[in-house]
Structure 1
Amino acid sequence: MTEVWDNITSVQADPSLQVVIGTGLAALLLIAWRPVWRQTRQVVTIAHEGAHGLIALLVGRKLAGIRLHSDTSGVTVSRGKPNGAGMIAVLLAGYPGPALFGLAAAFVLSRGYAVALLWGLLLALLILLLQIRNLFGLWSVVAFGAVVFAVSWWGSEQVQSTFAYLLTWFLLLAAPRAVLELQSSRRHGGGRNSDADQLRRLTGVPAILWVGIFGLITLGCLVLGVLWSDVLPT
Structure 2
Amino acid sequence: MPSPARQAVRFPAEVAPLNAVWNQLTATQVAPPHWLIIVSGVVALAIVSYRPAWHISRGLVTIAHEGGHALVAVLTRRKLQGIRLHSDTSGVTLTRGRPTGPGMIATAAAGYVAPSLLGLGAARLLASGYVTLLLWAVLVLLACMLLMIRNLFGVVSLLVVGGAVFALSWYAPQDVQGVLAHGAVWFLLLGGLRPIIELQSKRRRGRAADSDADQLARLTRLPGTFWVVLFLLVSGAAFASGAYLLMVSGPTA
Match of 1:187 among 204, 218, 234: 204
Post-superposition offset of 1:18: 1.1
Match of 2:44 among 27, 30, 49: 27
Whole-angstrom distance in 2 between the partners of 1:18 and 1:112: 17
The equivalent of 1:14 in structure 2 is 31
Given that 1:46 and 1:68 are in contact with CA atoms closer than 8 Å, whether structure 2 keeps it comes out as yes
Match of 2:69 among 35, 46, 52: 52
1:65 aligns with 2:87: no
The equivalent of 2:172 in structure 1 is 155
Post-superposition offset of 1:161: 0.8
The equivalent of 1:86 in structure 2 is 103
Given that 1:56 and 1:86 are in contact with CA atoms closer than 8 Å, whether structure 2 keeps it comes out as yes
**Number of aligned residue pairs:** 232
The equivalent of 1:134 in structure 2 is 151
Given that 1:196 and 1:211 are in contact with CA atoms closer than 8 Å, whether structure 2 keeps it comes out as yes
Q: Where do 5+ consecutive residues of structure 2 fail to align?
A: 1-16
Post-superposition offset of 1:19: 1.5
SS state at 1:12 partner: coil
Whole-angstrom distance in 2 between the partners of 1:9 and 1:107: 14
The equivalent of 1:36 in structure 2 is 53
Name which one, 1 or 2, has greater alpha-carbon Rg: 2
Q: Deviations over 1:127-150 (max 9, x none)?
A: 100000001111111111111111
Given that 1:20 and 1:231 are in contact with CA atoms closer than 8 Å, whether structure 2 keeps it comes out as no
The equivalent of 1:164 in structure 2 is 181
1:198 aligns with 2:215: yes
Post-superposition offset of 1:39: 0.9
TM-score by length of 1: 0.96
The equivalent of 1:221 in structure 2 is 238
The equivalent of 1:143 in structure 2 is 160
The equivalent of 1:75 in structure 2 is 92
Given that 1:21 and 1:231 are in contact with CA atoms closer than 8 Å, whether structure 2 keeps it comes out as no
**What amino acid maps onto 1:207 in structure 2?**
G
Q: Deviations over 1:88-134 (max 9, x none)?
A: 00001000000000000001111110111001101110110000000
Post-superposition offset of 1:7: 3.2
**What amino acid maps onto 1:61 in structure 2?**
R
Report percent identity of matched pairs.
48
